[in-house]
Structure 1
Amino acid sequence: METKNLLSLATEFGCPLYVYDAEKIQSQYTRLTNAFSKVKSLRINYAVKALSNISVLKLLRQMNSGLDTVSIQEVQLGLIAGFAPHDIIYTPNGVSMEEIEEVAAMGVQINIDNLSILEQFGAKHPDTPVCIRINPHVMAGGNSNISVGHIDSKFGISIHQMPHLLRIVENTKMHINGIHMHTGSDILDIEVFLYAAEILFEAATHFKELEFLDFGSGFKVPYKKDDIETDVEELGKKLTRRFNEFCKKYGCELTLAFEPGKFLVSEAGYFLAKVNVVKQTTSTVFAGVDSGFNHLIRPMLYGSQHHIENISNPKGKERFYSVVGYICETDTFASNRRIAEITEGDILCFRNAGAYCFSMASNYNSRTRPAEVLWHNSKGHLIRQRETFEDIVRNQVVIDL
C-alpha cells in the first residue's frame, strides 16, 4: 500500500488502527496455488487463528479457500462467512469431547491429535470420517516458541505410537480419511520439511481409504529487508513430484492440503499508531505511541520483529529510537531502531501486522481494542468498529456490597 493511503486511513478512522491490503492476500494465495499447480487436487485451508475477521474470511472464500479452525467459535465464524461445513477442517487441542462432537454434528472435518480422544470418538462415532494429526518429531521452524513438531510438543500423536493408533482404528472400525502433520512456523529448511513429509507418506500407507494428506504450513515470510523466507516455488516443485509419485503408488489421486495463515495475511497487515511523546533520557530516545502490547503483543511475547516506518516523515533524517507503548510495565516494540526523525503527533506504521496481531489483542489496562479496515478496490472499508468503554463493562455484573 502507498504511504498516502495509510495516512488517509489514519485520518479517517483514527489511531491505533489495523489495515489489511486485500490485493496482497490475493497475490499470496495465487503464489501458493501456482507453486503447486501440477498437483491434480490441491486444497488451501486458511488458518483462521491468524486473523479471524469475518470480512477477511469472506475474501478468502471468494478465492476458493477452505478453513483451518482450532475452536468451535472459529468454525462458527467460518459458517457466518459463508463457508460450507465440508470446506472446514477442525483441529483442536485439549478441548472437551462435547465440543468435538458438536463440531462433528455440523458436518465439519474432524482432525484428532490424541489417542484417548481418538478411541472415545471412534467408539461412539465409527462412521464419521476422521483425520489423524501425527507428530513427526521434526522441527522445520526457526522459533522454538512457535514450533510444534518437536518431541516435547503437546500437539499430535507421536509417530512412535503408530502401533497403538492402528489398534484403536482396528478395534473401533472407524473411518480414517486424512493424515495431517504440522512442523511449526517459520520453515527455514525445505529439505527438513521434505524429510517430515516422508514420515507422513509412510504413515499414510497404513490406511486404505484416505482422501487427503495435510502438510500443515509454517511458511516463513520476510520481516525486514533481505530477510530469508520459505521458497514456496522450490518446495512446490519438490513436494509435487514426490506427492504425485506417492499417489500413483497408493492407487488413487489424493488431495494435497495446506493450512497457511501467516503466509497469506502477515505482509498484508499494517498497524498504525500515533506518537504521543518523544522522551530523551540519559541513554535512549523513546518514542511513546498510543498503543501497547495490549494491541500488538508479538514483540514482547516471543521477540518478533516488525519493521517500523515514520510515514509522517518518510524522507526525514534517520535517528535511533526505542519505540514503546503506554502499558504500565515494560512495553517495547523495538529497541535502538533507525527510524526517520520522529516528532509528537507523527504516525508510525508497523509492517507484517496481519497475522497473530489483532487476533491476540486484549483489554489489558482496561484499554479498548482498535478498529480494523480492509483496503479493497482502492478504498478503505471499516470491518470492525473501534471498541468503546461500554464494550469493556458490558458483560460485567456489578453487585451490591
Structure 2
Amino acid sequence: MQLENHQYTIQGVDALAIAEEFGLPLYVYDADKIIEKIGLLRSAFSGTPDRSVNLKIKYAAKALTNVSILKLMRQQGLDVEVVSVNEARLAQLAGFEPSQIMYTPSGNAWSEIQEALEMGVQLNADSLPLLEQIGQTYGSQYPIALRINPSIAEGGNFKIQTGHGDSKFGIPIDYRDQIKSIISQYGIPVVGLHIHTGSDFKDGNTFLKIADVLFDLAMDYPDLKFIDFGSGFKVRYREGDYATDLVDLGAKVSAAFRSFCERYGRELELCFEPGKLLVSESGHLLAGVNVVKENPTRTFVQVDSGLNHLIRPMMYDAYHDIKNLSNPNGAEKSYTVVGYICETDTFATDRQLPEVRTGDVLSFENAGAYGFSMASNYNARLRPAEVMVYEGKPYLIRQRETFEDLLRGQEIIEFEEELVKN
C-alpha cells in the first residue's frame, strides 16, 4: 500500500490510514453524512405551523442492514421499514420497538408473516391472497396497511421500477373493489395505505401522481393513521448528475397532503421510506490494486474486490465515481477497472483516473446503499469488514470474514477412496 499524498479524508480522518488500520477491501461509512441527509429531508417538510405536516421517516433497512447503522437511525429518531423477518429481528436488536417497525413482505412464506405478526410489527400487505389468509386466520385481530400498485411507471432503470402494471409488487389499484370486499368480509382493520413505485424521481411531480391514487383510495377506509409514499429519491452519482429536489418535493407533497387531510376530516401521518438517500453517499468501498495490466486495446486495473462486494455496476449499469487515494495528483490516464472474480465484473470502462500503480488504494464512492447488503461469497471470496466513522473516530462495526466462516454450517461427507485405473 502506497501512503504518500494523504489528501482524502472522511470526517477529517485520513482514508488511507483507515485502510492501513483495518485492511482491504473495506467498507467505510460516514455517520455525519447520514445525519446530514436525515436533516435535509426533515427540513424539506418543516414549513410554518400552518403549513407543516406530521412527517414520519422510516429507514428502508434493506439498503444497509448493519446493526450499528440501524442504531444510528434510531438515535436520530427514525422508524424502520423491513422486508424480511430477519431484518425485523436486526431492527429489534438495534433497539426499535415493534410499533416502530413496518414489515412489507413480497410473496414471503406464510409462516414468516405469522412470526412477524406475533412480534407485533406493522404488517404492510401486498396481495389479495395474503389479505384472504389474514382474514381467515386472524379476522380483525391485527391492524394492517395496504401496499398498492398504482400502475405508474416512473424512475430510472426498469429493474428498480416497482409501481408499473407488470411489477410483482403491491396490490393493483384495479382490484380496489376486491380489496374492500375482503377487508369488509373479515373486518380487518386498515390503518395505513402505502405505495412505493421505485427510484430516481427528479421532483415532487411523480409523488403527486401517486398521491392522487392514494388520496382517492383513502376515502374507502375511515380509520387510517398514515399515508406512506415509500421512497424513490434520486441520488447524485457523478458531477452534473441530477438529484431529487427535496425542497420542491416537500412543498408540493406537503400542500397536497394538507389539502387531503382537510377532506379526510383529520390529520394523518405522512411517511417516507428512504434507504439510498440516507446511506448511499456515506459509503466508500476501499480496494487495493493488484495488477495494472496493459492490453492492446485498453489498460485494466485489477483490484482486490469485485461484483461479490459491489454488484450494482454489473446488475444496474450503475455509475460509481472512483478516486485514486494513493496518487490523487498523478497524470490522468484511461483505465478499465475490473475485479478479481472469475466472471465479467467491470466497475468502470475507459475511466479517466490519476495514474494507477500496483499497490494503490482506490475508493468507490456512493457505495453505502446496496453494497455490502448485496454482497456474497461468490468464488469462495470473503466479505469485507465494515467501519463507521462517528464523531471523527473510526469504529469497526463488522469483522472481516474468515475461511472458517465459509465452512460454518457445512456437513462434510467422507467418501471411500477409489483406485483409478489408467
* TM-score, with structure 2 as normaliser: 0.94
Q: Which residue of 1 aligns with 2:9?
A: 2
Q: Following TM superposition, by how much is the alpha carbon of 1:301 offset from its aligned partner in structure 2, in angstroms?
A: 1.1
**One-letter amino acid of the structure 2 residue matched with residue 82 of structure 1:** G
Q: Distance in 2 between matches of 1:53 and 1:5?
A: 23
**One-letter amino acid of the structure 1 residue matched with residue 414 of structure 2:** D
Q: Counterpart of 2:358 in 1: which secondary structure?
A: coil
**One-letter amino acid of the structure 2 residue matched with residue 68 of structure 1:** E
Residue 233 (1) aligns with residue 247 (2): yes
Is residue 99–residue 121 contact of structure 2 (8 Å, CA) maintained in 1? yes
- Return the match for 2:158 from 124, 144, 154: 144
Is residue 142–residue 188 contact of structure 1 (8 Å, CA) maintained in 2? no
Is residue 183–residue 193 contact of structure 1 (8 Å, CA) maintained in 2? no
Residue 23 (1) aligns with residue 59 (2): no
Is residue 226–residue 269 contact of structure 2 (8 Å, CA) maintained in 1? yes
Q: Which residue of 1 aligns with 2:388?
A: 374
Q: Distance in 2 between matches of 1:321 and 1:243?
A: 49
Is residue 140–residue 193 contact of structure 1 (8 Å, CA) maintained in 2? no
Matched length: 401
Q: Which residue of 2 aligns with 1:219?
A: 233
**One-letter amino acid of the structure 1 residue matched with residue 312 of structure 2:** R
The structure number with the bigger radius of gyration is 2
Q: Distance in 2 between matches of 1:174 and 1:391?
A: 44
Is residue 310–residue 347 contact of structure 1 (8 Å, CA) maintained in 2? yes
Residue 96 (1) aligns with residue 105 (2): no
Q: Distance in 2 between matches of 1:207 and 1:37?
A: 28
After TM superposition, the structure 1 = structure 2 runs for residues 282-293 of structure 1, keeping only pairs within 5 Å, are 282-293=296-307
**One-letter amino acid of the structure 2 residue matched with residue 231 of structure 1:** D
Residue deviations 1:147-172 (CA, integer Å, cap 9, x gap):
10110000000011001111011111
* RMSD of equivalent CA atoms: 1.0
Q: Following TM superposition, by how much is the alpha carbon of 1:211 offset from its aligned partner in structure 2, in angstroms?
A: 0.2
Q: Distance in 2 between matches of 1:329 and 1:107?
A: 43
- Return the match for 1:105 from 112, 118, 122: 118
Q: Distance in 1 between matches of 2:324 and 2:282?
A: 18
- Return the match for 2:376 from 362, 365, 370: 362
Q: Which residue of 1 aligns with 2:4?
A: none
Residue deviations 1:215-254 (CA, integer Å, cap 9, x gap):
0001001000111111011000010011011111101110
- Percent identity over the alignment? 52
Residue deviations 1:265-309 (CA, integer Å, cap 9, x gap):
000000000000000000000000011111111101111110001
Residue deviations 1:86-117 (CA, integer Å, cap 9, x gap):
00000010112221111111110000010011
After TM superposition, the structure 1 = structure 2 runs for residues 216-365 of structure 1, keeping only pairs within 5 Å, are 216-365=230-379
- Return the match for 1:41 from 49, 54, 67: 54
Q: Following TM superposition, by how much is the alpha carbon of 1:189 offset from its aligned partner in structure 2, in angstroms?
A: 4.9
**One-letter amino acid of the structure 2 residue matched with residue 11 of structure 1:** E
Q: Following TM superposition, by how much is the alpha carbon of 1:62 offset from its aligned partner in structure 2, in angstroms?
A: 0.4
After TM superposition, the structure 1 = structure 2 runs for residues 128-167 of structure 1, keeping only pairs within 5 Å, are 128-167=142-181
Q: Which residue of 1 aligns with 2:418?
A: none
Q: Which runs of 4+ in 1 moved over 4 A?
A: none
Q: Following TM superposition, by how much is the alpha carbon of 1:396 offset from its aligned partner in structure 2, in angstroms?
A: 0.8
Q: Following TM superposition, by how much is the alpha carbon of 1:64 offset from its aligned partner in structure 2, in angstroms?
A: 0.5
**One-letter amino acid of the structure 2 residue matched with residue 75 of structure 1:** A
Q: Distance in 2 between matches of 1:2 and 1:304?
A: 24
Q: Counterpart of 1:382 in 2: which secondary structure?
A: strand
* TM-score, with structure 1 as normaliser: 0.98
Q: Following TM superposition, by how much is the alpha carbon of 1:188 offset from its aligned partner in structure 2, in angstroms?
A: 2.9
Q: Distance in 1 between matches of 2:212 and 2:203?
A: 15
Q: Distance in 1 between matches of 2:267 and 2:282?
A: 34
After TM superposition, the structure 1 = structure 2 runs for residues 142-221 of structure 1, keeping only pairs within 5 Å, are 142-221=156-235
